Amino acid sequence: MIEVEILGAELDSAGADGRRGAHGARVPPEQEVRRLCALATGSAGIADGHLAIEFVDARRIAELNGRYRSKPQPTDVLSFPVDGTGPAGGERELGDVVICLEHTRDASEAIVHGVLHLLGMDHETDDGEMLALQRELLLRSST
């Protein structure tokens, strides 16, 4: 099973999020975040592991973007893959996805995009496979 840790998403008891980005993006309900992560990891045949999804403000994502990509400005999503295993053969640690609602139009798309990066996909170096898979997964998730 994919274990998803969700950080920075001030969810209420019904699972609805009160945070909304400048472009109208909203954190999906917790169940939907988990489903999107499982859909993306499942596309790579990964059924077990742990990952974290964190929602941050523009200042924080600009800081991370500057530190790790030498681009000190806000962006929509960053991924930090770990791709290792836990202690003593424990659960696989996939990594962290950091999303800034202020700089994304669709949080669901940012979640899938970030998780695909955790799995080693890179739209900047492939021939369109990652973004095609992303579109397919998002279409599948809406039906």
Which tokens sit at 91?
A: 């659960």
The helix (run of H) or strand (run of E) holding residue 65 is helix 58-69
Cα 121 → chain centroid = 13
6-65 tens-digit pLDDT: 999 764 333 444 555 555 578 899 999 999 999 999 999 998 999 999 999 999 999 999
In total, how many domains does the chain have?
Answer: 1
- 141 has pLDDT over 60: yes
41 versus 128: the higher-pLDDT residue is 41
Cα 138 from Cα 44, distance rounded (Å) = 15
Q: List the domain range (segments joined by +) for residue 73.
A: 2-141
- CATH code (residue 69): 3.40.390.30
CA–CA separation, 22 and 66 (whole Å): 21
- Residue 53 pairs in a beta bridge with 6, 97
Can you give the pLDDT at residue 79?
96
What's the pLDDT at 25?
A: 73
